Amino acid sequence: MDDIEMFRSLVEEASHSPEHSEEWTKALQGCPDAWIAVLIPSLQNVTSLRLRYHCSPTYSMPMVARAAVGEKPFDLNPVFQKLEDVMIIMQDDNKASYRMDDLLPFFSFPAMRSFTGNAINEENSWTYQGYPKQAPGTSGIKNLRFGHWSRCNGENGFLGFVKLCQALESFDFQHDDQAIWGESYYPFRPGAFYASLSTQKHSLRVIRLNNRGQHPWYFDADDFDEGFELGTFGSMMDFHQLRELQIPWATLLQVDSREKPTVRASDILPASLEHLHLADCREQDFSVIIEVLRDILKHREKRFANLKILEVQPKQLYRKPPGNYVLWVDCVGVPQSTIDTYASVEIECQEKGIEFRFNKNGKHRIPGPH
């Protein structure tokens, strides 16, 4: 207890009431988040922040919000003015997650350029009473990345994050149907993300959207809240700065309930595109996907002169024999039948100066040894 008493004065200085001070001091006995909150007032010169939580950040995130508006104790001692890069990960607790509004204060710090978050959902968001809403287009953040270490569910396309950016250049989002474990689940919503990313069509250069996950061909609206719709992703023609697009092929081509594309790739992709990665490609859809690729190649000279890489992520892989593999992706391979199926496309790509390749990242089905 003596060690905790040493920090009592710091807690009292940072607290907004005697009751809050007492609660916070007690939380120092076994709550790492309470200790993180104590340290925040001393982070004047930090440029990069990495946080791993094992429970909801009930103490540190309100402190960040207070720092964003210069509230006590930050009125005389501002922090995070040099902060450029933030990564926040939630571990171990299936039910713990961040609400979007918990994290929005990070977007207001002047030097911020990159934000990586996990275990974030847009359900039941709230606004910290002392933190006013930030105006759209006022954040200098260039790179957003979500969902690579633990689940993220973007019911509204993470619009709350995206619209704050003045000129977002890279957006990477990996979806999980789970919003709140055991309570609420929402499928990937292409329409919501299209609306969100369209606010940054003037600057986006890289979009990686659910390229490691799965896309339902259609869903039963009775399984979800009234008015819940997946929507369609829409045309990318006006994304004039876009260089790289990684996306489930069914999302891009707006596949309907009959599992047929409703648009042509050559009509919706921008001429600026250099790298196209089609994810979540099932074997039974290969013939349709090959038609999509040939449509792109057909318009190589007039529409896609900048295209350098065409990439396909097969759904089915095979497990290689035991060996000294460094990475998980080295343990699996693309079936020879898949390679043979795309052989003619690869030849045509070579003739047109485009690299064709397979990608083994993402969720796969591995039936057994090849």
The secondary structure of 280-293, three-state, reads: EECHHHHHHHHHHH
Burial of 224 (0-12, 13-18, 19+ CB in 10 A): middle
Query: CB-hemisphere CA count at 13 Å for 299?
Result: 16
Q: How far apart are CA 297 and CA 353, in angstroms?
A: 10
Quote the pLDDT of residue 177.
74
Quote the pLDDT of residue 176.
79
**3-class secondary-structure state, position 67:** helix
pTM, two decimal places? 0.90
Quote the pLDDT of residue 217.
45
Q: Which tokens hold the place of 189?
A: 């919503």
Quote the pLDDT of residue 179.
64
Closest CA to 117 of 84, 153, 83, 148: 148
Alpha carbon 335 to chain centroid, angstroms: 29
Residue 183: how many CB atoms within 10 A of its CB?
Answer: 9
Closest CA to 370 of 346, 326, 336, 347: 336
* Alpha helix stretches (DSSP H) within 202-342: 249-252, 265-268, 286-298, 300-303, 336-341
**Cβ partners under 8 Å of residue 89, min gap 6:** 51, 52, 53, 118, 119, 149, 150
Q: Where are the beta strands (DSSP E) in 203-258?
A: 206-209, 244-248
Quote the pLDDT of residue 219.
44
Alpha carbon 23 to chain centroid, angstroms: 35
Q: How far apart are CA 253 and CA 265, in angstroms?
A: 7
Query: CB-hemisphere CA count at 13 Å for 104?
Result: 26
Quote the pLDDT of residue 3.
66
Instruction: Transcribe 116-164 into DSSP letters.
Output: EE-SEE-TT----TT-PPPPTT-B---EEEE-SSS-EE-TTTTHHHHTT
Closest CA to 275 of 305, 250, 310: 310
Quote the pLDDT of residue 133.
79
Which domains are seen in the chain, by residue range? 47-65+84-358 (3.80.10)
Sign of the dihedral defined by the CA atoms of residues 49, 54, 58, 59, in that order = negative
Q: Is the peptide bond preceding residue 248 cis, with omega within 30 degrees of 0?
A: no
Burial 134-143 (b: 16+ CB within 10 A, else e): beeeebbbbb
Which residues of the chain are modeled with pLDDT < 70?
Answer: 1-3, 91-97, 123-132, 149-150, 179-184, 212-229, 257, 363-370
Q: How far apart are CA 72 and CA 233, in angstroms?
A: 44
Q: How far apart are CA 196 and CA 203, in angstroms?
A: 13
361 forms beta bridges with none
Q: Which tokens hold the place of 30?
A: 């076994």
Quote the pLDDT of residue 370.
41
